[in-house]
Amino acid sequence: MPDDADVTAPAATSRLPREAAAPLPKWAMLLAAGLGMRLRPLTESRPKPLVEVAGRTLIDHALDRFEEVGVETVVVNLHHLGHMIQDHLAGRDSPEILYSHEPELLETGGGVAKALSHFDDSPFFVANTDIIWLSGPQNALQRMAETWDDARMDGLLLLHPTVTAHGYNGSGDFLIDPAGLLSQRPEREISPYMFAGVQILHPRLFEKAPEGAFSLRVLYDRAIERERLFGIVSDGVWFHVGTAEGLAEAEAFMQIRYADTNLR
């Protein structure tokens, strides 16, 4: 993952039957505490979220996506050169930004768990800051909100086809059934879908979570056992910008992104 049944494309994008659409989450979290080791020496003098693609920082690309759909408050976790992120975002009017400081790195799961006090008991978005996602015909975050079923889900992950994922060369992460239910990719096998670094999580997913630093994968595994982890497949364009190669590829694409008006 980026830092971290029979499978068919129609099944992966199907809607789940339910009584009424859930409201779009008004809260989100951006994971911005990483060291950016694979982007050194660039990240020796700036945190990875402040690396620019097409003249805009990675963290602003993500905040723009949340602002577009009406997310009101975003929690940003900080560690490596975190003061630079705070200084940069001080000039941004919306959404409202709160900070969760990590004197010691807590990994993805521990970082979100530490920030839970900022959220009420309702679902919230979480996104990585070493990615850029462009929606297809429908906004990806809106699709996720429309798919969310609070009675059946503790987590909903945005997946992307591995063959069209820019800056990614792994073997995929999950299998997805016709209802969108996820299972882990078996060891030594290949999955056509990878986790795209955007998700909706409910605070109940963190009940009895480990203390300190831990990966969200621990909680994914628990939710899979209870059949409460689901996914939808992106129909847009996705970039992993965690390496120099991925950064160059994203920069080159973004220079011509407006040639395809279906992507935004």
Give residue-wise pLDDT tens across range 211-236. 999 999 999 999 999 999 999 999 99
pLDDT above 80 for 239: yes
pLDDT above 50 for 126: yes
| pLDDT mean over 44-50 | 87
Percent of the chain with pLDDT over 70: 87
pLDDT above 70 for 171: yes
Supply the DSSP symbol for 178: T
pLDDT above 60 for 9: no
Q: Which residues of 146-166 are buried (b: 16+ CB within 10 A; e: fewer)?
A: bbbbeebbbbbbbbbbbeebb
Containing structural domain, residue 96: 25-257
49 belongs to a structural domain: yes
Contact 208, 187 (CB under 8 A): no
20 belongs to a structural domain: no
Structure tokens of 95?
A: 């959404």
11 belongs to a structural domain: no
pLDDT above 60 for 4: no
Q: What is the pLDDT of residue 255?
A: 79
Structure tokens of 91?
A: 């000039």
4 belongs to a structural domain: no
pLDDT above 80 for 135: yes
pTM for the whole structure = 0.87
Domain count, the chain: 1
pLDDT above 70 for 3: no
Instruction: Say which CATH number the domain at 53 has.
Output: 3.90.550.10
64 belongs to a structural domain: yes
138 belongs to a structural domain: yes
38 belongs to a structural domain: yes
Dump pLDDT digits (tens) for 96-114. 999 999 999 999 999 999 9
177 belongs to a structural domain: yes
